[in-house]
Amino acid sequence: MAAGNGQGDRRVRVQEVGPRDGLQNEPRTVPVGIKVDLIERLAAAGLPAVESGAFVSPKWVPQMADSEEVFRRIERREGVTYPALAPNMKGFERAVAVGVTEVGVFAAASETFSQRNTNCTIEESLERFRPVCAAAREAGVKVQGYVSTVLGCPYEGEIDPGTVADLCGRLYGIGCYRISLGDTIGVGTPAKAAALIDRVAEAVPIDALGIHLHDTYGQALANTLACLERGVRTVDSSVSGLGGCPYAPGAAGNLATEDLIYMLDGLGMETGVDLDAVAAAGAFITGWLGRTPASRVAQAFAGRKAA
């Protein structure tokens, strides 16, 4: 594998996004107690980051309206980060008020998606993020910058990698310490994903890049491997493959954490994550939702248990 970040080539940081990306799209609201339980199980499984909420407009995304309550109730483990989305100063202030130490701002590489998801142009979104980054610096809060639709947009189709690289460079320039590349609708394939990483790495150091791949077309694991081979060492995933974006019609969940860990374990990569514990957390939440996990590994575990 190509050299990754300074933590060593075999170390991969797996960032769990299920409690946010996974649950934001659920048709019925998940009670705070269930969210807190899920977050604590995931953190106990060894995941170094568990994205736990979104301080977005409750009118836009009602499922995340209880994020304050979630953050008040989670018992935080040492060494684990609990990021949350904050699209503007209002969101940032709400997040800081409940002790959030890392926020995610989110932009899009396509104008139409930017409008649909955040009601503003790409340029306007950067103007909203500038004060967030400045205030975060002052408060000692880290800011990760998501870029959506990097491998395709539900409204505009193909996206030019140069456009993505330019936006990533600008987000990095205003103070986002990491840029997470979102294949929001999961249309990417490995060669395209690898080429995108190479192009974006001209604008942002490879160790400041992460990937956030939805699995609509079943390519997320293959795309992840292609990106690991280019040196990426931060990968988002969602327990049991939950997830989707309310403003990305037809988008499936993220790459499942169980499938990612199983592959990384098989490659001899180090994650510090206990696969059985993640699978148990997945069984807990999919049981509550009354759903079969999208994760193939979780399905295999369930089959083994039944046998």
In whole angstroms, the minimum distance from the beta carbon of 113 to ligand HMG comes to 8
Which entry of 133, 153, 176, 245 is annotated as an active-site residue?
245
Q: Is 176 a catalytic residue?
A: no
Q: How far apart are CA 5 and CA 185, in angstroms?
A: 27
| Site of tokens 């590349």 | 181
CB 3 → Mg ion: shortest distance, Å? Answer: 27
Least distance (Å) between residue 180 CB and ligand HMG: 7
191-196, Cβ contacts within 8 angstroms, sequence gap of 24 or more: 191/226, 192/151, 193/151, 193/223, 193/226, 193/227, 194/226, 194/227, 194/229, 194/230, 195/161, 196/150, 196/151, 196/161, 196/164
Site string for Mg ion, 4-23 (x = CB under 5 A): -----------------x--
Which residues bind to ligand HMG, rule: CB under 6 A? 21, 24, 54-57, 60-61, 85, 87-88, 90-91, 94, 106, 117-119, 146, 148, 182, 184, 212, 214, 245-247
Given the complex with ligand HMG, which of 88 and 219 has the nearer CB atom? 88
Distance CA 49, CA 235 (A): 11
115, HSE (Cβ side, Cα atoms, 13 Å): 6
Residue 210 near residue 235 (C-beta atoms within 8 A): yes
- Pick what 141 binds: ligand HMG, Mg ion, none; C-beta below 5 to 8 Å, kind-dependent: none
Residue 113 binds what, of ligand HMG, Mg ion, none (CB under 5 to 8 Å, by partner type)? Answer: none
Active site residues: 245
Which residues sit at the interface with Mg ion, rule CB under 5 A?
21
